[in-house]
């Protein structure tokens, strides 16, 4: 038994992802780092990191993006590059696994109907998206993530809306979970936690706040006013010709949120 793929987008530094890798205590076939920095600030450090031998990881790779493609873009790239995987475990770089967490995730996917596993239940008991596993059956039914949510935030909420009227088999909350930042996940958010990427760069933090506001407006247009209470319209943009997995790349909208790198 093994985790087919762990995918980790990175933007700010190598500190967190190094800690994540060190916490892996269960066999992993492929670990891929999506370097979303786009400025070459730590390319060599990442190259050196993936050259290291790890007793539980068969293969490690880093993909250096020429520019930041956003969270949804990085998540989609992980799925596309390892399209034959049974499922994909996608994590923030500032996550580190508690002993036994990865084994429990893999065991859940012994159920052929399993769609998603969220090790942490989160405040609303619907699962957090700082670390989640998504099955091939879910991608087949609901499609890839909406890249209009570039650069970050709301990509997870959009996907939750797709599943609101078409429930899937999922596991929310495991006995063994993970650390987010320096804290337990619940403490991370209750104590004013947030993106460590944004915290590392004040200017970037401002841009992420701005884009978040635009992305919230975008989801309202896509799913209606009820989306924040998980009561979205049944079809995106209330268009009967569009399936629940429909997505289109609005170039001008995405350009309006460009991070500058």
Q: For 7-30, what is each residue's pLDDT tens digit?
A: 999 999 999 999 999 999 999 999
Pick the CATH number of 3-255 from 3.90.550.10, 3.40.710.10, 3.30.70.1290, 3.40.640.10: 3.90.550.10
CA dist 170 and 39 (Å) reads 38
Give strand ranges (E) for 139-231.
170-172, 178-180
> What pLDDT was estimated at residue 19?
98
Record the pTM: 0.92
Confidence of residue 1 (pLDDT cuts 50, 70, 90): very high
27 burial level (CB within 10 Å; 0-12, 13-18, 19+)? middle
> What pLDDT was estimated at residue 10?
97
pLDDT in tens, 34-72: 999 999 999 999 999 999 999 999 999 999 999 999 999
> What pLDDT was estimated at residue 93?
97
Ramachandran category for residue 116: left, alpha or beta (phi over 0 → left; psi -120 to 50 → alpha): beta
CA dist 35 and 128 (Å) reads 23
pLDDT higher than threshold 50 for residue 193: no
CA dist 248 and 84 (Å) reads 24
The position carrying tokens 């990442």 is 46
Give me the percent of the chain exceeding a pLDDT of 70: 94
Q: What is the mean pLDDT of the segment spanning 101-109?
A: 98
Domain ranges of the chain: 3-255
What is the overall mean pLDDT for the chain? 93
pLDDT higher than threshold 60 for residue 111: yes
Q: Which DSSP category does 8 fall into?
A: E
The position carrying tokens 């999506």 is 34
- Integer Rg of the chain from CA: 18
Give me the percent of the chain exceeding a pLDDT of 90: 84
Q: Which residue has the higher pLDDT, 198 or 206?
A: 206
> What pLDDT was estimated at residue 140?
96
3-state secondary structure of 4: strand
């Amino acid at each position: 038994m093994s985790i087919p793929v762990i995918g980790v987008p990175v933007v700010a530094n190598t500190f967190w992802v190094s800690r994540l890798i060190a916490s892996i205590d269960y066999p992993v076939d492929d670990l891929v780092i999506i370097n979303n920095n786009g400025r070459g600030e730590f390319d060599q450090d990442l190259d050196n990191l993936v050259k290291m031998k790890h007793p539980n990881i068969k293969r490690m790779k880093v993909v250096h993006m020429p520019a930041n493609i956003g969270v949804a873009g990085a998540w989609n790239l992980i799925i596309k590059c390892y399209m034959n995987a049974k499922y994909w475990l996608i994590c923030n770089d500032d996550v580190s696994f508690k002993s036994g967490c990865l084994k429990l995730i893999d065991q859940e996917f012994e159920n052929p109907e399993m769609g998603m596993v969220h090790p942490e239940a989160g405040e609303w008991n619907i699962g957090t998206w700082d670390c989640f596993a998504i099955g091939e059956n879910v991608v087949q039914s609901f499609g890839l993530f909406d890249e209009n949510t570039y650069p970050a935030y709301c990509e997870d909420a959009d996907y939750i809306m797709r599943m609101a009227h078409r429930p899937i088999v999922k596991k929310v909350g495991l006995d063994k979970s993970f650390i987010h930042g320096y804290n337990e996940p619940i403490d991370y958010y209750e104590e004013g936690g947030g993106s460590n990427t944004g915290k590392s760069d004040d200017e970037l933090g401002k841009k992420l706040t701005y884009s978040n506001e635009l992305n919230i407006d975008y989801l309202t247009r896509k799913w209606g006013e009820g989306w924040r209470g998980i009561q979205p319209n049944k079809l995106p943009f209330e268009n009967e010709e569009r399936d629940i997995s429909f997505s289109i790349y609005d170039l001008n909208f995405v350009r309006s949120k460009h991070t500058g790198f």
